[in-house]
Structure 1
Amino acid sequence: MTHSELNDIARRWLLRAESGRGPGCKIALNEVGAVGDSERADAWGYRWGYHGGSVLVEVKVSRSDFLRDKHKPHRQAGGLGDYRYYMCPEGIINIADLPDRWGLLWVNKRGHVKLMAGHICCLVGNSWGGNRDLACFWAHDSDKDAERGLLSYLLHRVGDPDALLQEQRSYLRESHQQATKINELEKQRREDSHTIYRLRRKLEAAGIDMPETRPANMLGF
């Protein structure tokens, strides 16, 4: 499994609900980093609301790559992610190898994610108490300025979010109007078909033969 494929699996996992053993992020992105910052996340997501915060997933396809990771400057202090996970093919990294407060995700050959360690373990199956309060012990002191810079840069690339929202609403209204018109035309078509059928039966009852109906292209139009 390639690094790029695992990145995409990591992004999808970030969006997975708690009930599916995921962090329930509202947004998730691949290969992103703040402008001017040395860190570039393989996958990063954010969840707002109750138990909100950012989640980082670092993908490793070899053990040597994992061992080099701890020497990066943003691993010493700061960095992205209130909660952090390594993701790797099954067996490359073990729980005993993990740095303090890092979680672990294994991916098998079929692309299925297995939660091995991390704050999500405290949330699964304990919606109203249990070990949920222990999740905070997995939290890191993330670089909030870098994360704000990342989000601001992404918004800048997208453009004016309010203008995009208005444009989306306009498309939705137009789509709804078109769907309504199509439904009305379909209803009229059915009514016309019933009318033609009733007229044909009356003509047949009166002994009047009707010509066979043929497609327009067979009539030379």
Structure 2
Amino acid sequence: MPATVIVPVSDRLDELVLDLHVSEELVEQVHHAAQEVGGYPIFLRTDQASGKHGWEKTCFVPDADSLPEHIRAVVEENILAGILGLQFTALVVREFLELDTRFTAFRGHMPIARERRYFVREGHVECHHVYWVERAVWRGMYASGIPESTWRPLLADLNRETPDEVQVLTEYAECAGQALGGYWSVDFAMTRKGVWYLIDMARGEVSYHPEECPYSQE
């Protein structure tokens, strides 16, 4: 996993959620966490979500000067998610990984990378999928200006799974699943150096499967 520091905000929820107020003290805490994970740029999220589709204005923080506005934007994305918003209790500062990307998509020009999702039940992989399915990326290409004839082959290359990859990620996913027990989705991303990182986990019951997956209706 990338280096990660958690900054609790339970005692600041009123000012964050009701007023979108980001205090100097909180900015300093997050800035200190950024130094702990190796400095800027950083990947910023809450313990619930990152607002990654807004990338340039949300989770990707290039420098200290822009940190307050990114904290505010990530919090706002969490507040506006779904019907009632997401109940977050912490900001999560993560080392920024230079991923194996080919192009950008969505309103925030998010880099599309070589990413995978594995579902693990009681320590055993049940199914696995590429993270960026074509129809999801297609919906995010309206702002990019990149023609389909360019991005579709690039995405196909990113989504090409090899037997060696599946073997490695199955071992990683089952290791994580055995440590925690229960039913989990486990997300991986490859860096430009060819190294796979575990970047996220969530309850399997609320995680997305492609429609064609036999487990998608559970």
Question: Which band: TM-score by shorter chain?
Answer: under 0.3
More strand as a share of residues: 2
More helix as a share of residues: 1
TM-score (norm 2): 0.22
| Structure with larger RCO (C-alpha < 8 A, sep 6+) | 2
TM-score (norm 1): 0.22
